[in-house]
Structure 1
């Protein structure tokens, strides 16, 4: 059986769970500032599988933020590349001005030598992480560094091969002996190098604006689907896409609007569509307003008049129109 260390929050007193898990991550990975809104009763299940100098990290944990600051890098840098296979959940990473989001079946990348902010979004995340010493990768260091921060897929090509190996190691570590560990570590490092090289070659023709536009389209589709939810706000939209609210606002500034204005406009357009529908003529206006996320009739009426120049009742078809 491979050497393995296991941490279960349920084995630790409630008040100590987050601190113990944070200390463990600092000891076996690298010094980090770890924060979570769930710290009072943190739930995590983390394993560490040693493959010689390579380590594999299957885990499940609640939302949190990892900060690797210049001060912490000076304190200690193990010179590792870190990859995270997202089995379930979402997250993101900011490396300077570069910010990338991840979802289920993506592979996230990071570097212990670079200041970064990494976060896990809503709900419990399930991941398989892997740490590889930079010196093990058969790639020029500068080229390998270029791959860090990019979103990679685990559903095809080399990414699928790496994901298959990592999930097999996570699910069946008992099938291997300690003598297998160094050989498996070399295989993992080679696949990581191949994934980096493949990603850099495939992405050469895709300008950054393409990735940015794709993210904006995903966000718009999400907001369109949740217009009826009164809790739909810029903060919840950002959290659902594992990006910071400030980055979300920058995306929409480039589109010539704000997130709140976009949501309000689309809600009003949907409400106007309901008001002009003869089949909904008998549905009270306040019910239509609530249907599209407005919490009060007065608020809805003011916003509607401002947007369309007339009160909602003037958009309702008369009885003659419906016959």
Structure 2
């Protein structure tokens, strides 16, 4: 984590200019308007790196407005989406002709390289992950049509929960070996959210595939996870599910096994989890039969779970 700004130690008159400068460096140049100027005002801005995606958290003690007018736009700027979740307070988001209240826990998408306004009254906090538009594989026009209407999407709650969890635990994910994969998953989910909002038929299969992948990740610990259950949860036939996965070059059962084994191998290598039995680790990752788990683990990693744990323990610095 990098603390970009903490105004607590600054003179009152220096706080707003410092916050404006920090926000411009972390995002794009904007106009900061501080409300409730009759009271002491403080702000803090922290940043993390999630597999190449910037994650920011801002907290202020009083109301403010962030405004990016046309006059502050610059040609050649990298096109960036800010996918944010309101942590505390109620915000008001306005861009592309749409305006919407953003209560605590709600999601908002802002194109930072276009005019926008985001404001709240009273103390508040928010978290955001910044996604380069070029990595979404979508036209700017499609994004601008979808962004004000994301609350209509059937994926809104799923993506909101994902962004909330990722940004809330950014400190942990920043150094995790899976950070780059998590960043890719975040980009895929944002793309699916936008595509489903504008009902782009060409993107419908991508949206369903992202939902299936997210469902599988969320239920890896369930021994009853099966193609039949996955298909039922997404209102498609098992045949359609297999066709979807085949077209994406994905073996559903093999993918589930690989993800479960990857999770189990990480748990076995974690010194903090050495008190857990191998059978318990197996159950935690959806393997009801410890012997079946051991056999599949050895096939994948060339050693037994016990040998893997022992070798991992020898690699830990003393």
Q: Is the 8 A contact 1:80 1:134 kept in 2?
A: yes
Q: Secondary structure at the match of 2:74?
A: helix
Comparing 96-105 with 145-154, greater Cα deviation is found at 145-154
Deviation track 1:7-64 (CA, whole Å, cap 9, x = no partner) reads 2221322221121111010112101011112457421121111235421112211311
Whole-angstrom distance in 1 between the partners of 2:67 and 2:87 = 22
- Tell me the number of residue pairs that the alignment of Structure 1 and Structure 2 aligns: 196
Whole-angstrom distance in 1 between the partners of 2:42 and 2:182 = 30
Q: Give the corresponding residue for 2:53.
A: 54
Q: Give the corresponding residue for 1:111.
A: 111
Q: Is the 8 A contact 2:83 2:108 kept in 1?
A: yes
Q: Give the corresponding residue for 2:169.
A: 168
Gaps of 5+ in 2: 201-318
Whole-angstrom distance in 1 between the partners of 2:2 and 2:180 = 14
Deviation track 1:62-92 (CA, whole Å, cap 9, x = no partner) reads 3111111111113663311112201221111
Q: Is the 8 A contact 2:50 2:174 kept in 1?
A: no
CA positional deviation for 1:105:
1.6
Q: Give the corresponding residue for 2:207.
A: none
CA positional deviation for 1:101:
1.8
Deviation track 1:125-177 (CA, whole Å, cap 9, x = no partner) reads 121112111111143443222222335399833322232222222xxx14642
Whole-angstrom distance in 2 between the partners of 1:175 and 1:189 = 16
Whole-angstrom distance in 2 between the partners of 1:157 and 1:176 = 22
Q: Give the corresponding residue for 1:100.
A: 100
CA positional deviation for 1:111:
0.7
Q: Give the corresponding residue for 1:242.
A: none
Q: Secondary structure at the match of 1:149?
A: helix
Q: Give the corresponding residue for 1:123.
A: 122
Q: Is the 8 A contact 2:150 2:156 kept in 1?
A: no
Q: Alignment partner for residue 11 of structure 2, among 10, 13, 34? A: 13
Q: Secondary structure at the match of 2:192?
A: helix
Whole-angstrom distance in 2 between the partners of 1:65 and 1:75 = 24
1:200 aligns with 2:198: yes
Whole-angstrom distance in 1 between the partners of 2:176 and 2:158 = 29
Large movers: runs of 4+ above 4 Å: 178-181
Structure 1 pair 151/12, CA: closer, same or farther in 2 (3 Å)? farther
